[in-house]
Amino acid sequence: MRFDRSRHLYYEPDDDNNCDEVCSIEGDTPAFVQFVNKTRRPVDIWWRNYEGQRYFYVRIGPSQHVNVDTFITHPWEFLDAITCERFVINNEKVFRPPPCIGNMRFRTHWNITAGVRTLRRAALIAVGSYMKNDNGVDTLGLPKVLVEEVKFAIRFMNQTYRLDLIEQVA
């Protein structure tokens, strides 16, 4: 899966290994799902429309759930509301209800969890979420390459995501 940061679009390989944009495809087969937040963090749930644009759907707290009436070809994404870290369902960053639940008359449950992190990513998230801005990063005594990564993490968490959220909700 590839991400185009400038347009906030995801691409995934098709059967011929070409990249297809992640977007809603059709609205013919309904799926009734319940997303359950199994993390200790608030989760923002996003839906991708037919053009691949991301739309904010709802925020749910730890251990909360939300019922969603959707379709089997509609993609959903899950982000930590504070750090912007991607959460997963069945270890997938983009969730589409499987075809086997299409047209079922009962709701199926899907657990939102944290994906596996590298130690480097976990440390960047921890430092980035602790600091309000990148002014003091140079004084931490970190190697130059890490200073730049921490600064980027802080700017991303404090600015890019907030601006994106404002654009999507407005």
DSSP 144: H
CATH of domain 2-114: 2.60.40.780
Percentage of the chain with pLDDT > 90?
A: 43
pLDDT in the model for residue 160: 46
What pTM does this model have? 0.69
Domain extents for the chain? Answer: 2-114, 119-169
Span 98-116, pLDDT tens digits: 999 999 989 999 999 998 8
**Per-residue model confidence as pLDDT tens digits over 118-140:** 888 888 877 777 777 888 888 88
Q: What contacts 71, CB < 8 A, 6 or more positions away?
A: 24, 26, 27, 28, 29, 30, 31, 97, 102
> What is the C-alpha to C-alpha distance for residues 145 and 127, in angstroms, rounded to an integer?
15
Q: What gap in Å lies between CA 120 and CA 13, rounded to an integer?
A: 27
H or E element in which residue 34 lies: strand 30-37
The mean pLDDT value of the chain amounts to 82
Give the amino acid at 77: E
Residue 70 scores a pLDDT above 90: yes
